[in-house]
């Protein structure tokens, strides 16, 4: 029986993503596809990135109903739920997976999905396909959730992880329009980019971060296998740059040095971006990244207040972040900082500390978010009693929760304004004063 894999990210129907215009291939379903095809299953992919809901609807209505597998994350929930409803009405059977469905298995099942796959998908989906979608086999399949005919929810044991990532086929990029991704990058950013991963999972425990797919495992591909994929990407697509989408690319120093040697040996040096933790940077790591062609490193800085970093269980110090930025700059690598406002307990003094921290680091880029509790994380549990839903589950996201007693969005707007004004090439003293006044005046406003 055929499996059609898709995801619910439609670039041209998402105003926010259209502004960002940095599309990357959906690696999760590409990995599922290559795994399942290697096992002899018939798999097709509808890559929604450049597609449309209408086009997918036509496929669901015109093709003979089979099994539809949908990837969903916290932002694509609404679309995923619409697709589930439509597919079921057209006679398809539906599997959902990805980082969000396991957090809301009951909701996805009630929305019509036949089965939710929790975590790493390859082994569980293979078993579902091998069962011919016969429910009597499902109790023996690990990593799934489904409803019995009686309405009772069955949750089998944890998903089995792939022990040897090197034995897996590479993601099925040839089956989607990678040149279109590259052209979009060229059109909007002047150079093409392709993503890859060299590892799965992160062992750290920052308490707002979702670990629903890989838990706290960390499994690496061998340096030579990762380098071989890079070589293949170069030969097949010749991208101007790469994005290494690992959670923490520099986590294992020995591996990084081996990978650098592998690429050197193959004569490959492609500019790339990656994410690091400040405590996983040192002089040799920064120099190795530079030698490899790293053009920008993103550092999860989050806050300039040690008190808040500690509350997040971030496991890094302000000084480590400052040093990581310094080392990157000294090696000619651009730096980007991720920052978070509104973590529980943050006060104006912490916001001021963050502004001061960013001012002293002077990164090339910084991105701010107002913190949000993702279901399944310790942060969500901590705030559970104060979360206010602002709409029906199907049409909201975990980003939309309001937190009772937390400062208003306007307040964080002033925090952002203060930071941007302070970081402007020519700081405007009056605007800085106005932003500080805004913070003080809206201090008592709460979002719920």
Helix, strand, or coil (residue 195) = strand
Per partner kind, with CB cut-offs from 5 to 8 A, the member of ligand B12, ligand SF4, none near residue 80 is none
Q: Which residue is nearest to ligand B12 (CB)?
A: 97
Among 8, 202, 233, 270, binds ligand SF4 (CB under 6 A): 202
Stretch that binds ligand B12, among 85-93, 98-106, 217-225, 299-307 (CB under 6 A): 98-106
What is the sign, positive or negative, of the torsion defined by CA atoms of 83, 84, 86, 92?
Answer: positive
Q: Binding residues for ligand SF4, how many (CB under 6 A)?
A: 9
Residue 209 sits in the site that holds ligand SF4 (CB under 6 A): yes
How far is 295 from 378, CA to CA, in rounded Å? 34
What is the sign, positive or negative, of the torsion defined by CA atoms of 231, 236, 241, 245?
Answer: negative
Residue 204 sits in the site that holds ligand SF4 (CB under 6 A): yes
Among 74, 223, 230, 418, binds ligand B12 (CB under 6 A): 74
Stretch that binds ligand SF4, among 65-73, 204-212, 281-289, 439-447 (CB under 6 A): 204-212
Among 51, 99, 363, 373, binds ligand B12 (CB under 6 A): 99
Residue 247 sits in the site that holds ligand SF4 (CB under 6 A): yes
**Interface positions, 291-310, toward ligand SF4 (CB under 6 A):** 300
Residue 95 sits in the site that holds ligand B12 (CB under 6 A): yes
Residue 248 sits in the site that holds ligand SF4 (CB under 6 A): yes
CA angle 248, 249, 254 (to 5 degrees): 115
Q: Binding residues for ligand B12, how many (CB under 6 A)?
A: 37
Q: Where are the alpha helices (DSSP H) in 90-153?
A: 105-110, 122-130
Residue 212 sits in the site that holds ligand B12 (CB under 6 A): yes
How far is 328 from 320, CA to CA, in rounded Å? 12
The least CB distance from residue 430 to ligand B12, in Å, is 32
Residue 173 sits in the site that holds ligand SF4 (CB under 6 A): no
Residue 17 sits in the site that holds ligand B12 (CB under 6 A): yes
Per partner kind, with CB cut-offs from 5 to 8 A, the member of ligand B12, ligand SF4, none near residue 434 is none
Which residue, among 257, 321, 326, has the nearest Cα to 292 in the 3D structure? 257
- HSE, CB side, 13 Å, CA atoms: give it for residue 284: 8
How far is 94 from 73, CA to CA, in rounded Å? 16
Residue 290 sits in the site that holds ligand B12 (CB under 6 A): no
- How distant, in Å, are the alpha carbons of 36, 47, 202, 297, 325 from that of 277? 34, 32, 11, 10, 11
Per partner kind, with CB cut-offs from 5 to 8 A, the member of ligand SF4, ligand B12, none near residue 74 is ligand B12
How far is 316 from 305, CA to CA, in rounded Å? 11
Residue 284 CB coordination number (10 Å) = 12
Residue 71 and residue 7 in contact, taking contact as beta carbons nearer than 8 Å? yes
CA angle 198, 199, 205 (to 5 degrees): 140
Residue 27 sits in the site that holds ligand B12 (CB under 6 A): yes
What is the sign, positive or negative, of the torsion defined by CA atoms of 260, 265, 266, 269?
Answer: positive
Residue 280 sits in the site that holds ligand SF4 (CB under 6 A): no
Q: Which residues of the shown chain bind ligand B12 in the complex (CB under 6 A)?
A: 9, 17, 24, 26-29, 31-32, 69-71, 73-76, 95-100, 103, 117, 120-122, 125, 197, 209-210, 212-213, 245, 247, 369, 374
Q: Which residues of the shown chain bind ligand SF4 in the complex (CB under 6 A)?
A: 202, 204-206, 209, 247-248, 277, 300
């Amino acid at each position: 029986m055929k499996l059609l894999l898709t995801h619910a990210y439609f670039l041209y129907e998402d105003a926010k993503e259209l502004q960002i215009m940095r599309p990357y291939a959906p690696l999760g379903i590409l990995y599922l596809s290559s795994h399942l095809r290697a096992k002899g299953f018939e798999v097709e992919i509808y890559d929604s990135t450049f597609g449309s809901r209408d086009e997918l609807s036509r496929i669901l209505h015109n093709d003979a109903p089979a099994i539809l597998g949908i990837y969903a994350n916290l932002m694509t929930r609404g679309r995923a739920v619409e697709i589930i409803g439509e597919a079921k009405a057209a006679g398809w059977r539906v599997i959902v997976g990805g980082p969000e469905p396991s957090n809301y298995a009951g909701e996805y099942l009630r929305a019509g999905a036949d089965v939710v796959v929790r975590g790493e998908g390859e082994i569980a989906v293979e078993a579902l396909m091998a069962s011919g979608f016969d429910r009597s086999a499902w109790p023996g399949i690990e990593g799934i959730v489904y409803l019995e005919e009686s309405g009772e929810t069955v949750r089998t044991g944890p998903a089995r992880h792939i022990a040897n990532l090197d034995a897996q086929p590479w993601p099925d990029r040839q089956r989607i329009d990678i040149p279109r991704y590259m052209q979009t990058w060229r059109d909007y950013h002047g150079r093409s980019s392709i993503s890859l991963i060299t590892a799965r999972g992160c062992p750290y425990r920052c308490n707002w971060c979702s670990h629903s797919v890989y838990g706290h495992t960390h499994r690496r591909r061998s340096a030579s296998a990762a380098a071989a994929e890079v070589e293949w990407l170069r030969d097949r697509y010749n991208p101007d740059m790469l994005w290494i989408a690992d959670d923490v690319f520099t986590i294992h120093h020995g591996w990084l040095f081996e990978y650098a040697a592998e690429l050197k040996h193959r004569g490959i040096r492609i500019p790339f971006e990656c994410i690091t933790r400040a405590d996983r940077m040192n002089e040799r790591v920064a120099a190795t990244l530079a030698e490899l062609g790293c053009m920008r490193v993103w550092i999860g800085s989050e806050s300039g207040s040690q008190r808040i970093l500690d509350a997040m269980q971030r496991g890094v110090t302000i000084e480590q972040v400052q040093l990581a930025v310094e080392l990157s700059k000294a090696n000619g690598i651009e730096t980007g900082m991720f920052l978070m406002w509104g973590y529980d307990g943050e006060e104006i003094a912490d916001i001021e500390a963050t502004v001061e921290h960013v001012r002293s680091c002077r990164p090339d880029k910084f991105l701010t978010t107002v913190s949000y509790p993702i279901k399944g994380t310790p942060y969500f549990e901590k705030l559970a009693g104060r979360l206010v839903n602002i709409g029906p589950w199907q049409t909201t996201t975990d980003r939309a929760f309001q937190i009772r007693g937390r400062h208003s969005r306007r307040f964080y707007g002033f925090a952002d304004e203060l930071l941007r004004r302070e970081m402007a090439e020519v700081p405007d003293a009056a605007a800085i004063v106005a932003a500080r006044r805004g913070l003080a005046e809206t201090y008592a406003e709460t979002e719920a």
